[in-house]
Amino acid sequence: MDDTQRSFYGLKFENAFLREKGKAFESLFARLMAHGFTGDFEPVRPYGSKGDLKCDGFRPSDGTVFQAYAPDSTKLAELLAKIDEDLAGALTHWGAKMRRWELVHNDVRGLPAEAVRRLDELRAAIPAVTIAVFGEAEMRAVAMRLALHQLEDLFGVVPSQRTLERLDFTNLRPVLIAIQRRDPGAEPPLAAPSATKLQHNALSPDAALLLRQGRRREKLVQDFFDAWPDPSFGEDVAEAFRARYQALKAVDLDPDHIFGQLQTFAGGMEGEPSHQGAVLAVLSYFFERCDIFEDVVQDTNA
C-alpha cells in the first residue's frame, strides 16, 4: 500500500465516521473491529426479549464490553443516562467476564465535559472494571493498521500512485461531462492559490497529500478543456464546482467532509481506481484555481 492509497483510505474512513449514524455506525464499528482483531472480537446483535445484554461487541482476550452511542447529535441528558444505564446493565449481564468497558461514540469533537466527569466518577466507584472511551481517534488507529485487502473489503478499491500516473483523457471525459452544467455568472479573475492554502483551509494531512498527488495530472485536465469543442465547457464545470462548494460551506461542514462531498459531486469515489484517480485530478485542478476552498487573503497593509 503506497502513500496515495493510505491517504485515500484515511479520507474514506473519516467520511464514513462522519456519515454513519445509529445502527449504520454500529455496523461500521463491528466490521472494522472484526478486521482489526481477527478471532478476538465478537459482534453482538439484539435477540429475543433480552436484547443485546448491553453489549455491541465483546473482546475475549481482555474481557472488553463495547457499547455504542451514535445519534445524529449528542444530547447531554440522554448521553449521561445511557452511560449509567448501559454500564449498570453490562455489570449485571456480564459479571466477572467484563474486565473492561468502552463507550463507543461518533462525536468527532469528543465527549462533553459532564460526560467525561461522569466516566471518571464511575472509574472511582467501580475500580474492578477499566472504563474507557472509543472515539474517532481510536477507530482511525484500528483502521489504519489494517492490511490493504482488509481496507478494500471495508471501503472498496482506491487508486495507487501508479494509477494516477497512467491517467488519460478516456478516464477524465465521463467525470467532467457528468458534472451538472450551470450558467456561469460574472466572476472576478481567479488568483493562483498561495502556498499556505491547504493550511488555511484546515484540511487534514490525508486530503492535503491527495491534492498534491492530483497536481501531477492537472495538465491533463487543462489539456482536456483546451481540446474540448465548446470553449465554455471549462467555465461551466468551474461554476458548478463553485456553487457546490458554497452550498456545502453554508451548512457548516468541516473541511474534510466538504472535500469528501466534492469527490462525490465530481463523479464519486467508488468503482475503478482509474475513475477515482480522474476525480482526484479534477478536484486538484479546481482547488489550484480557487474554484473550491478559500485562498489566503494577503494583508496589503503589512
Distances (CA, A) of 48 to 51, 67, 162, 245, 297: 6, 18, 51, 47, 60
Supply the mean pLDDT for the chain: 85
Residues 8 and 128 in one domain: yes
Residues 237 and 134 in one domain: no
- Of 114, 143, 172, the residue at which a domain comes to its end is 143
Into how many domains does the chain fold? Answer: 2
Residues 19 and 139 in one domain: yes
Residues 51 and 25 in one domain: yes
Residues 7 and 139 in one domain: yes
Residues 118 and 220 in one domain: no
The C-alpha cell that represents 43 in the structure block: 459482534
Write out pLDDT tens, residues 61-86. 999 999 999 887 778 999 999 999 99
- Residue with more model confidence, 42 or 200: 42
297 part of a folded domain: no
Question: What is the 3-state secondary structure of the chain?
Answer: CCHHHHHHHHHHHHHHHHHCCHHHHHHHHHHHHHHHCCCCCEECCCCHHHCCCCCCEEECCCCEEEEEECCCCCCHHHHHHHHHHHHHHHHHHHHHHCCEEEEEECCCCCCCHHHHHHHHHHHHHCCCCEEEEECHHHHHHHHHCCCHHHHHHHHCCCCCHHHHHCCCHHHHHHHHHHCCCCCCCCCCCCCCCCCCHHHHCCCCHHHHHHHHHHHCCHHHHHHHHHHCCCCCHHHHHHHHHHHHHHHHHHCCCCHHHHHHHHHHHCCCCCCCHHHHHHHHHHHHHHHHCCCCCCCCCCCCCC
- Of 112, 143, 174, the residue at which a domain comes to its end is 143
Residues 125 and 174 in one domain: no
293 part of a folded domain: no
Residues 12 and 137 in one domain: yes
As a whole-number percent, the residues of the chain with pLDDT over 70 amount to 90
Quote the pLDDT of residue 186.
39
Residues 104 and 233 in one domain: no
Q: Which residues of 215-253 are buried (b: 16+ CB within 10 A; e: fewer)?
A: eebbebbeebbeeeeeeeebbbbbbbbbbbbeebeeeee
As a whole-number percent, the residues of the chain with pLDDT over 90 amount to 41
81 part of a folded domain: yes
User: CATH number of the domain that 90 lies in?
Assistant: 3.40.1350
153 part of a folded domain: no
pTM over 0.85: no
Longest CA span, the chain: 73
154 part of a folded domain: no
Residues 110 and 63 in one domain: yes
149 part of a folded domain: no
300 part of a folded domain: no
Which domain covers residue 227, as residue numbers?
Answer: 159-288
70 part of a folded domain: yes
Query: In this model, does residue 179 exceed pLDDT 70?
Result: no
Nearest-angstrom CA–CA distance, 45 and 50: 11
Residues 29 and 98 in one domain: yes
Residues 88 and 178 in one domain: no
